[in-house]
A = this chain, B = another copy of it.
Amino acid sequence: MTPEARADRLCEGIVRGNRSDLARGISVVENGEDEAGYLLQHAYRSRLTASVTGLTGAPGVGKSTMVDGLVSLFRQAGLTVGVIAVDPSSPFTGGAILGDRVRMRSHTVDTGVFYRSLASRGHLGGVSRHTGDVIALMNLYGFSEIIVETVGTGQSEVDIMRYADTVVVTLAPGLGDDVQAIKAGILEIGDVFCINKADLPGADKARREIEMMLHLREPGGWSPPVVETVAAGGQGLKDLLLAIESHRQYLSSVNLRDERRKGAYMAVLEEYLRGETVETVLRDSRLDGTLEKILHDLASGITDPRTAARFLVDKYVKESQMSSS
């Protein structure tokens, strides 16, 4: 079978709701197999009807438990849920695999839920692109809700949160003291703030700090609510869901959802542009030995990065055949 034919078959299976085809489709994309391009062409041309919720926060805040709780609430409301757990901090060791194993506990027998972990494989990232791709595949499958969960608060995580309609930023009391800097970055991307483990000492302090910083935001528009949960005991999760839903209503009421989605497609587009340029240049120049020579010249001060980059783009992008799409 040609890659096109294999992609068509997978695509049909996914649209029909075949779980193993969805799992296989995601692997095809992650591994960059031949049919990935065709499959994604289909997937992305299926309009995104699922709602995408992002959930981020430092390690230890209890994100997994919160996601499990949200999944249960969505399921009780009759909605199907795809969950993508993204771990951009594990470029080498595939921590995401562990993640999948840990997750098998709660919703394993429920066919309305699908968990998938994504880890960055090597330096050229790709995890952010794959997040967009998996959202497209899960949407093609027909999930009404998609939750994207990321560990930490680095730039990669901020980038990944661009795919979400609503971003939930989670904190927990007593996780270190120079979180100021992180909170500053996080503050800007949160649509809903959640203090999990709110039964621990320090929850009030955390709330005050968040509220103080929210006051520094530009006034007008959406005011992010601060919700308290004890996800392990199930407390507060309904409030969290209500907060997410009111943010969705806000987005629709002011016609901002399409703007938001444009931001998400911008993120996807950037990743694909990177693939067509930077990754292509590095791959091709490595193959013919040019890259090695240039790195040597850079280390010796014979050339400089701008001159080298322009040379490589001229040689491997501009002089290459015009690509047909």
Interface residues of A (CB under 8 A from B): 37, 40-41, 43-48, 58-61, 64, 87-93, 95, 98-99, 120, 123-125, 127, 132, 151-159, 162, 172, 175-182, 184-188, 258, 261-262, 265-266, 268-278, 281-282, 294-296, 298-314, 317-318, 322-323, 325
Q: Known: A90-B181, A309-B272, A325-B311. Is A298-B176 also a contact (CB below 8 A)?
A: no
Q: How far is the CA of A178 from the CA of B272 in the complex (A)?
A: 32
Q: Is the CB of B301 within 8 A of A325?
A: no
Partner of A305, one of B132, B176, B188, B262: B132
Q: Is the CB of A306 within 8 A of B325?
A: yes
* A99 closest partner in B (C-beta): B181
| Contact residues in B for A269 (Cβ distance below 8 Å) | 294-295, 298, 305, 308-309, 312
Instruction: With both chains docked as a complex, state the minimum distance between the C-beta of A20 and any C-beta of chain B, in angstroms.
Output: 24
Instruction: With both chains docked as a complex, state the minimum distance between the C-beta of A195 and any C-beta of chain B, in angstroms.
Output: 15
Q: How far is the CA of A267 from the CA of B125 in the complex (A)?
A: 12
Q: Is the CB of A152 within 8 A of B151?
A: no
Q: Is the CB of A90 within 8 A of B317?
A: no
| Contact residues in B for A87 (Cβ distance below 8 Å) | 181, 185
Total copies of this chain within the assembly: 2
Instruction: With both chains docked as a complex, state the minimum distance between the C-beta of A185 and any C-beta of chain B, in angstroms.
Output: 4
Q: How far is the CA of A270 from the CA of B232 in the complex (A)?
A: 43
Partner of A181, one of B44, B95, B317, B325: B95
Q: Is the CB of B89 within 8 A of A155?
A: yes
Q: How far is the CA of A94 from the CA of B43 in the complex (A)?
A: 38
Partner of A275, one of B185, B309, B318: B309
| Contact residues in B for A317 (Cβ distance below 8 Å) | 277, 313, 317-318
Q: Known: A152-B182, A314-B322, A318-B318. Is A45-B301 also a contact (CB below 8 A)?
A: yes
Partner of A180, one of B98, B124, B274, B314: B98
Q: Is the CB of B295 within 8 A of A262?
A: yes
Q: How far is the CA of A172 from the CA of B178 in the complex (A)?
A: 13
Instruction: With both chains docked as a complex, state the minimum distance between the C-beta of A130 and any C-beta of chain B, in angstroms.
Output: 12
Q: How far is the CA of A278 from the CA of B313 in the complex (A)?
A: 11
| Contact residues in B for A125 (Cβ distance below 8 Å) | 155
| Contact residues in B for A154 (Cβ distance below 8 Å) | 88-89, 152-157
Q: How far is the CA of A312 from the CA of B114 in the complex (A)?
A: 35
| Contact residues in B for A277 (Cβ distance below 8 Å) | 273-274, 277-278, 281, 313, 317
